[in-house]
Structure 1
Amino acid sequence: MGVKEQLTEPWGLVAAGVLGGLAGAVAAAPAGVLVGVPVGLAVAGTVYAIRVGLGALTDRGGSSSARAVTAAPPPDLPTPPRGSDADRWLRRAEQAVRTLRRQSEGTGDPVLRGQIAEIDDQAAGAVSDLARFAGQVTLIEQTAGAINTQRLRQDYNQLERGLSGLPPGPLREERERARRAVADQLEVGQRLREAREMLLARMQSAVLGMEGLVARMAELVALHATTVGGAPLTASKVAELTNDLEGLRAGLAEAERLSRSALAGGDVPGVEP
């Protein structure tokens, strides 16, 4: 609520009027009406000015808090490097929530604000989910970076050539064991890459969905402001947005489950070096 809205806010006018009236009555008792009326008006004006000023400052502080939407991964996960894929998607999600909150606070209808409060909460929860995803992607990237895939492929190809024409016996068994060890490392690297791509793809889908919600929220606010008696329609659209956000978070949870399955070696075919 800005200064303009604070000037017409009814409770501020009532409070100023009541306190001014009481002050005028007290002053008029010993000194007469000519003194009491100016005193009452002065007190009412002072109370009103203080009420407007404090209200505007409070709302400005609240709006700044809403704009300062940031999310970080849990303490057990690393923070994505600035400019990385995970960091970029997380920043876009935060911006989407900031916009949603500005839209929510910008409506002058308290009923509508109450209706869309759940959307705000769900969106903030989605950002927390995405922050966790960003930390997981970063951890996977750090782990995968320690696997020298190029060298392992060279080792694998060298062992494969060495087995060609080698007769059965202890030497062949040792080289086959070495080849399996290298293949296992390559499979781990492959699972890590697939898990990273899966998480990033889901982050992208979720963020684009949130940005779509921003456009639909703007449409909803405009519809509510321009449609007479459109409260039932507004409530229906609010329910749609809420359901979409719940579905978005469910999709994030499913993607996280699949990535864990991939890292555990499930649902991922063996790699062909």
Structure 2
Amino acid sequence: MALRDHLTEPWGVLAAGLIGGLGGAVTAATVSAGVGIALGMGVAAAVYGLRVGLGVAFDRPSAPGAPDGPELLATPTRRLPEPPTGSPAELWLRRAEGAAGALRQQVASEEDPILRSQIDQVDEGAVSVLGDLRRFAGQVTLLADTAAWIDAPALHEEYEALTFALQTGPANLRDERQRGIQAVRDQLDSHQRLTEAQETLLVRMQAAVLGLEGLVVRLAELSTMHAASDVVGDTTSRVRLLTEDLDGLRSGLADAEALSRQVLAGEPPPGG
């Protein structure tokens, strides 16, 4: 869906209104009406922003006739935020760009036309991995920004206060306080899922970048050995290994994205 569709999607608006209203009502009953209204509006805004933000990040339109699947670049990507300077995502992305640039320079400077035509595949694969990592950096940034909307420490305090009130307060308010506890618990669970998905993508970014940097060294070694021995057959098999490793990097990124989707959906990981 387009951003406009996410903003006007009725279930997102309804969910934000219901959760915000519930949080406000519970707080009004236990604290004051003014605080309850303010809290309800804040909760509704956070839930609505969470719904829209994650929809834009992870919803990619399918091209006509294109099969559904986990491929990262199978369809055009949405515009995602740039990672802040100095953030882990930005640092890994800069290293990935450096590695991809070094690979491209090695390919361009290769004097043997046969070897250069072979390692062109490595350069193309590195460009694809870099494109995946750019989107990962944007998704990590959006997940971090969305998690920051949820004031987890304040929610933990609210959870403890409601739990204490449930145990010590009058029985006629028990149901309302239980609903309030569940509403707070749901927000804390959302914060945990966002954090786990962010960490999942960051770890996979790290592995992919280190893999790219390793390919730079291996490609330089390959070029040197070829110049020294001029054994074409051995070069062909080594280039094939490099391209297979690049395919493995992209597969790992696809697996990480699928796992992050499961985390955000609250599904247990495979084998969990």
Give me the TM-score of the superposition, normalised by structure 2. Answer: 0.69
1:171-186 pair list within 5 angstroms: 171-186=173-188
SS for the counterpart of 2:111 is coil
1:122 alignment counterpart = 125
Pairing partner for 2:153 from 144, 150, 153: 150
Pairing partner for 2:208 from 206, 209, 215: 206
Shift of 1:170: 3.7
1:97 corresponds to which letter in structure 2?
Answer: A
Is the CA contact (8 Å cut-off) linking 1:74 and 1:135 kept in structure 2? no
Counterpart CA distance in 2 for 1:267 and 1:134 is 24
Is the CA contact (8 Å cut-off) linking 1:198 and 1:259 kept in structure 2? yes
Unaligned runs of 5+ in 1: 1-72, 269-273
1:247 alignment counterpart = 248
2:92 alignment counterpart = 89
Counterpart CA distance in 2 for 1:257 and 1:205 is 16
Unaligned runs of 5+ in 2: 1-75
2:105 alignment counterpart = 102
1:267 alignment counterpart = 268
Shift of 1:211: 0.3
Cα deviations across residues 59-80 of structure 1 (Å, max 9, x unaligned)? xxxxxxxxxxxxxx94431111
Is the CA contact (8 Å cut-off) linking 1:96 and 1:214 kept in structure 2? yes
Measured on the aligned residues, the alpha-carbon RMSD in Å equals 1.4
Counterpart CA distance in 1 for 2:152 and 2:77 is 29
2:227 corresponds to which letter in structure 1?
Answer: A
Counterpart CA distance in 2 for 1:88 and 1:150 is 28
Shift of 1:244: 0.2
2:189 alignment counterpart = 187
2:165 alignment counterpart = 162
| Identical columns (%) | 52
1:10-89 pair list within 5 angstroms: 74-89=77-92
Aligned length: 194
Shift of 1:166: 4.7
Counterpart CA distance in 1 for 2:77 and 2:90 is 15
Counterpart CA distance in 2 for 1:251 and 1:122 is 14
SS for the counterpart of 2:136 is helix
Give me the TM-score of the superposition, normalised by structure 1. Answer: 0.69
SS for the counterpart of 1:164 is helix
Q: RCO higher in 1 or 2 (8 Å CA, sep ≥ 6)? A: 2
